[in-house]
Amino acid sequence: MSDHHHASISVSGVLPGQPHIEVHTDHHGAVHVEHHGAVHKEHKEKKHGGGGHDSDSSSDEEKKKKHPDLIPIQGYESANFEKAVVLAPPPPPVATTGDAAPQKFDSMAGITEDQAKKALLKYVSDHCCFKTECAEKMDIKKMTTAGALPVDGPNAGPAPAPWTVTCNPDSEFKDHVKKVEVPHTAVVKNCFHCKGKGHVKCKNCKGDGDKSCDSCNGTGSVNVMNAEGQPEDSVCPHCTGGKVKCSTCGGDGKVKCPVCDGHKNLKQFIQMTCAFKNEKDDFVHEKSDLPDHLIKDVKGELVFEQVVPQVNPITGYSVDDINKNSARLIEKHRGSYNDKRKLKQRHQLRAVPVSEIEYHWKDVKDRYWVYGKEHKVHAPTYPQQSCCTVL
């Protein structure tokens, strides 16, 4: 039985496996800019989708609109509702000056039912003609808390350039996507779908508030058998004059606007999509006949690691093949991915144990491998291989 240790080098990215070199580069990927709409009620933000059909009072041209008119924002003239615009990053800086200052936003806590009742009791007590029984004995069924937040619009200053908007990765060396609102791009406008009314015509009853009765087909009468067993007309017990109240709108003829959720206003802003991508390359230095790809997915000992904006090649390792391929992979990353902003690199060298075992069994002479700290086995020519048949 012979033992081997394989060395691996990795430059930023995901931790490498087995004795091999890996170069990883974590990127702030392509930035996508697009316009978004959110419900706005008296400066109370509520996310909502955009688009839909116009109200019945709109012209044919207005009915074809799926999105409101855009408010032009300097530096974001290409933003639109239909398709995200990909913006190339600026040239990389000569030297980094550290991470951006962290931002902390405290959440607003709602009130309890007891606090809500106490507030109402105080309000009632301040009015001499109000009685307190209702406030004391009421059964609260639902509480909705909405916080009032200022709208960060163009009046607060010019919108920052796309690649200067703060958008930090949630985790390093892992692929993920984040979406952020571009500062100073928000505006509040009347909902384009309901024209600021908060409601639209009910489609079920076409705004009438009632529908034809299904029991009498809208005639207001049904055919019944009298005491003598003869058919005769009788007033329909399910409707009034052949009409029934619309079940969708409750007889109002109108329903809550599905675009603004009845809030009448929409918040319009530019949303930036940041894609973080981990680019990885590796090299396996392995002298046994064990396939190299098996080494990459098992655990080993971390011999060396460097995590910096720009890593340096390994130069003093005892295996010269490791030193050469470390420099090769780093140089490859240095000249690649120029369409992305490089955030950080990680360089790792791992040693993975590999044992090759030779054995005799009856007249068979063979070998197998145990590799990784998990003691995984590679035995492709194991002599007692058979198929089980289940009847």
**Full DSSP string of 79-98:** --SSSPEEEPPPPPPSS---
Q: For residue 123, is pLDDT > 70?
A: yes
Query: Which of 112-126, 165-179, 242-256 is predicted with the least confidence, judged by mean pLDDT?
Result: 112-126
| Cβ neighbours, 10 Å, residue 108 | 10
Q: What is the pLDDT of residues 221-232, one digit of tens each?
A: 888 888 787 888
> CA torsion sign, 249 to 254 to 257 to 263?
negative
Give the model's pLDDT for residue 146: 56
For residue 233, give the amino acid letter: D
Bridge partners, residue 62, by sequence = none
Q: For residue 314, is pLDDT > 60?
A: yes
Give the model's pLDDT for residue 136: 85
Q: For residue 378, is pLDDT > 90?
A: yes
pLDDT classification of 19: cutoffs 50, 70, 90: very low
Bridge partners, residue 40, by sequence = 45, 265
Tell me, rounded to whole angstroms, the distance of Cα 359 from its chain centroid: 54
Which whole-number Å values give the CA distances from 12 to 71, 185, 190, 347, 348, in the listed order?
41, 35, 49, 5, 7
The whole-model pTM stands at 0.59
